[in-house]
Amino acid sequence: MNKVLVIGGSGCVGKAIVAKMNKCDEFDVYATYFNNPIPLNENKSFKLNIEDVNNINDILNFLKPNIVVSCLRGNYDKQLIVHTKIAEYLRKNHGRLYFCSTTNVFDSDFSRAHYEDDSPNSITEYGQFKIECENIITEILHHNACILRLPQVWGKDSPRMKELLNLLNNNEKSIVYPKLIINTITDVMIAEKVFYIIKYDLKGIFHLAAEDVINYKDFYNELIIGLGFSEARIEENFKEEGYFAILSKRNNGFPDQLRLTNKSMITYLINS
């Protein structure tokens, strides 16, 4: 049986991955958290404090996982140390690491959507940090490192959805960007795709995103109306323009039910 450790299992994406993996008998699933408890048996959840450089080693040596999925957040420098230690552990033990990265690794170029074989280039601290993590993990683990780049992540109980509903319920303005083209994914769909990638031992870089792109304003307008707020206050911001989106050349590697559009993401979000 594969022993899977989800790092950052209390976050939006981490929780969804834990829930999906935990349904399959061939995976023995564990997870880490920092502040928020995880819906797992007590002996399967571990508090991880990235300020303690030895904490991750203690967890790895105790559990001895052969698969690690990282959805970790926190201080960039400390995260880098944690990911280096995880990669070094897995190299010694012939394990695999699945690292959640981001569209921001391409945030120096808004002229087009980006694919898996494009070279990352970022002008932001966040994007540069993710690129550094990608590079270090890949240098240590080679083909046993899998990079999972994510676009704008939504979920029915996600921070992004909670923030939007808070604005709508309080009749506050929602800011939209009419000149920006984006892509999205839901926490549940990320979990489904990650499960498939792990189950079938797929390798390399994956852009886990809808198969199309959509105008930022159009996405928000349709979502807001679908949530029942046809009279919502909208403020347009024209400063951001271009493509902040990733697309995939690897969609044919997934079954049809895991190949969705931004419209289907909206449909999922508005249906209870």
**212-261 pLDDT, tens digit each:** 999 999 999 999 999 999 999 999 999 999 999 999 999 999 999 999 99
Tell whether 98 and 162 lie within a shared domain.
Answer: no
**74-105 pLDDT, tens digit each:** 999 999 999 999 999 999 999 999 999 999 99
Tell whether 85 and 174 lie within a shared domain.
Answer: no
Kindly state the average pLDDT of the residues 3-12.
96
Neighbours of 270 (CB within 10 A): 15
Tell whether 218 and 91 lie within a shared domain.
Answer: no
Domain that holds residue 239: 153-183+211-270
Confidence of residue 19 (pLDDT cuts 50, 70, 90): very high
Instruction: Report the pLDDT value the prediction gives residue 15, as an integer from 0 to 100.
Output: 95
Kindly state the average pLDDT of the residues 111-127.
98
Confidence of residue 43 (pLDDT cuts 50, 70, 90): confident
Tell whether 10 and 99 lie within a shared domain.
Answer: yes
Tell whether 146 and 23 lie within a shared domain.
Answer: yes
Instruction: Report the pLDDT value the prediction gives residue 215, as an integer from 0 to 100.
Output: 98
Instruction: Report the pLDDT value the prediction gives residue 186, as an integer from 0 to 100.
Output: 98
Instruction: Report the pLDDT value the prediction gives residue 237, as an integer from 0 to 100.
Output: 96
Tell whether 134 and 168 lie within a shared domain.
Answer: no
Tell whether 132 and 227 lie within a shared domain.
Answer: no
Tell whether 137 and 179 lie within a shared domain.
Answer: no
Tell whether 195 and 165 lie within a shared domain.
Answer: no
For residue 60 the two structure tokens come to 């790895």
Contact 55/61 with Cβ under 8 angstroms?
A: no
Tell whether 72 and 169 lie within a shared domain.
Answer: no
3-state secondary structure of 209: coil
Q: What is the CATH number of the domain that holds 142?
A: 3.40.50.720
Residues 6+ apart with CB under 8 A from 231: none
Q: Is the pLDDT of residue 39 over 80?
A: no
Q: What is the CATH number of the domain that holds 231?
A: 3.90.25
**159-217 pLDDT, tens digit each:** 999 999 999 999 999 999 999 999 999 999 999 999 999 999 999 999 999 999 999 99
Instruction: Report the pLDDT value the prediction gives residue 35, as an integer from 0 to 100.
Output: 83
Confidence of residue 41 (pLDDT cuts 50, 70, 90): confident
DSSP H/E element including 185: strand 184-186
Confidence of residue 38 (pLDDT cuts 50, 70, 90): confident
Q: In whole angstroms, what is the distance from residue 210 CA to residue 263 CA? A: 9
Instruction: Report the pLDDT value the prediction gives residue 270, as an integer from 0 to 100.
Output: 96
Contact 193/200 with Cβ under 8 angstroms?
A: no
C-alpha dihedral (162, 33, 103, 117), degrees to nearest 10: -150
Q: Sheet containing 96-102: which strands, arranged edge to edge?
A: 45-47, 27-33, 2-7, 67-70, 96-102, 145-150, 204-207
Average pLDDT value over all residues in the chain: 96
DSSP annotation of 2? E
- Tally of domains within the chain: 2
- pLDDT exceeding 90 applies to what percent of the chain? 93
Instruction: Report the pLDDT value the prediction gives residue 1, as an integer from 0 to 100.
Output: 81
Kindly state the average pLDDT of the residues 25-30.
94
Tell whether 220 and 257 lie within a shared domain.
Answer: yes
Q: In whole angstroms, what is the distance from residue 45 CA to residue 100 CA? A: 20
Tell whether 255 and 132 lie within a shared domain.
Answer: no
Instruction: Report the pLDDT value the prediction gives residue 220, as an integer from 0 to 100.
Output: 97
Q: In whole angstroms, what is the distance from residue 96 CA to residue 200 CA? A: 13
* Residue 32 Rama label (left phi>0; alpha psi -120 to 50; beta): beta
